[in-house]
Structure 1
């Protein structure tokens, strides 16, 4: 429940909405689950990344699972500049990248959110994402797109494009929650 509250607080979303996204991910096997109390599942960084994706970019809560599948499986086509993201292969997914950054905050690799700045963007209906980092004078910028063969049918009409953004503040808050 702490992670749910942290995500709700960081993104400014109602806790009940985040709980519903979380239940959808558990039912789809996209999040660790367990019992209550001491036997409750420990949330992992990938669980946190998937929950962030669902909450930040789902048009409706019933679309949590599809949103995580679509965005989480986008593959890196960078880095376009700077150094690679921490602890990741060149062909990682968007979920892997978010989880890696969250783990770095959890593990204290980034001492404070102010030492590094991360900017995360998710675009829809044409699926794209981007993670930009600023570490000192340089940082990575990695774009994510559907892999070859990944099913994605962008709309054939309409000009609406939605861009969702969040920053280091959210990633740091989630990483700190996982540490506790």
Structure 2
């Protein structure tokens, strides 16, 4: 099981954000109750997919650590654009919908938030990191600090055996927050993370 300090190490490496910055963000997120705690310090508790999702969201702006919890609340609660979900359900075959529902059901929920999606993706990655990476190798998350929305590009292999057969499905989801205003002081830059990085986090969390 991964400790918070190990999760910080990996996220810093994957995002190329300064390690001390990620550590400070993690401390504020932990003190606000968004990281698991079972003792003192960042090395005490075992991390979950939800913990990793919270920390990833909190550092998306790569800004001031004291604002980490504000960022987490704003970005984490961004809602999926329902028309994106409807488009997937209308255009996908019943077989593809069934397979997608079996792999990652949150993606077909019209009411889910950004952090719920990210938690679901990370939970899937912990089950079989290698399989997850094979299924989602071309998928990525992009947070646009100018428009205050997250764009998630899913390219998911739905075949029973990775890369076999014609079962690749691609779609994009947008997540936005209705109250965020342009040029907010909380957001400093845009950030991108591909799903290979998500697979590495899943592998760490799943470690015995």
- Does the TM-score normalized on the shorter chain lie above 0.5? yes
Q: What secondary structure sits across from 1:140 in the alignment?
A: strand
User: Is 2:142 the counterpart of 1:121?
Assistant: yes
Q: What secondary structure sits across from 2:110 in the alignment?
A: coil
Tell me the TM-score normalized by structure 1.
0.83
Q: Which runs of 5 or more residues in structure 2 are unaligned?
A: 158-167
Query: Which shifted more, 167-176 or 28-37?
Result: 28-37
Kept in 1: contact 2:62–2:189 (CA 8 A)? no
Give the structure 1 partner of residue 200 of structure 2: 173
C-alpha deviation, 1:154, in angstroms:
2.5
Q: Which runs of 5 or more residues in structure 1 are unaligned?
A: none
- Where do 1:50-89 residues align within 5 Å? 50-77=54-81, 78-79=84-85, 80-81=87-88, 86-88=104-106, 89=109
**Aligned residues between the structures:** 173
Give the structure 1 partner of residue 115 of structure 2: 95
Distance in 1 between residues matched to 2:123 and 2:130, nearest whole Å: 10
Flag the structure with higher helix content: 2
Residues 17 and 163 from structure 1, CA distance in 2 versus in 1: closer, same or farther, beyond 3 angstroms? closer
User: Is 2:158 the counterpart of 1:138?
Assistant: no
Q: What secondary structure sits across from 1:33 in the alignment?
A: coil
- The runs of at least 4 aligned residues of structure 1 exceeding 3 Å deviation read 80-85
Distance in 1 between residues matched to 2:18 and 2:63, nearest whole Å: 15
Higher-Rg structure is: 2
Distance in 1 between residues matched to 2:200 and 2:124, nearest whole Å: 12
Q: What secondary structure sits across from 1:121 in the alignment?
A: strand
Tell me the TM-score normalized by structure 2.
0.73
Kept in 1: contact 2:79–2:113 (CA 8 A)? yes
| Coordinate RMSD, CA, aligned | 2.7
